[in-house]
Amino acid sequence: AFRKLLTGLSVAVHFDVDSATTAGQYRQALEAVAKASHSIDGLTVKLVGHADPRGSDSYNQNLSEARASSVGQVLQEAGASSMTVHMVGRGENDTLSDGQEGYYALDRRVDVQLSFDERKASEDLYSKR
């Protein structure tokens, strides 16, 4: 039941315009994710960085990667293993604002997605970490 609860769970970390600095307000939640990734066997964290559609494609791609890296650094500083954290930037792909200027803040984010590796549930009845 715990695996089903966490699998596919996604939360967003939002950013200011032209910023890749993870705000302190997210630190407590990210520390909890780091602790979980370190102590729950098989849990993986995927960080998907995004940018709003303003700016060039290359600028937005670099910014989305920097945002994912910033969140990844917070996770690793809090004890997450680099082996369980995967980062990717999507630039301005997958925007939520649909080009509506008042909603660009929705696109300045990193999606923190939790999942489990492909091991059978019976293989890790007890955590080995």
Model's pTM, two decimal places? 0.83
At 36 the pLDDT is 87
Task: Check residues 68 and 44 and name the one with the higher pLDDT.
Answer: 68
Examine the pLDDT at 81 and tell me if it is beyond 60: yes
Of 27, 25, 8, the C-alpha closest to 16 is 25
Single-letter residue type at 116:
F
Q: What is the layout of strands, in order, in the sheet containing 85-89?
A: 10-14, 109-116, 43-49, 85-89
Rounded to the nearest 10 degrees, what angle do helices 27-39 and 57-77 cross at? 70
At 122 the pLDDT is 47
pLDDT tens figures, 17-57: 999 999 999 999 999 999 988 888 888 999 999 999 999 99
Indicate if the alpha-carbon torsion angle 12, 72, 49, 108 is positive or negative: positive
At 115 the pLDDT is 87
At 111 the pLDDT is 96
Chain centre distance of CA 10: 8
At 63 the pLDDT is 98
Helix/strand/coil (H/E/C) assignment for every residue in 85-126: EEEEECCCCCCCCCCCHHHHHHHCEEEEEEEECCCCHHHHCC
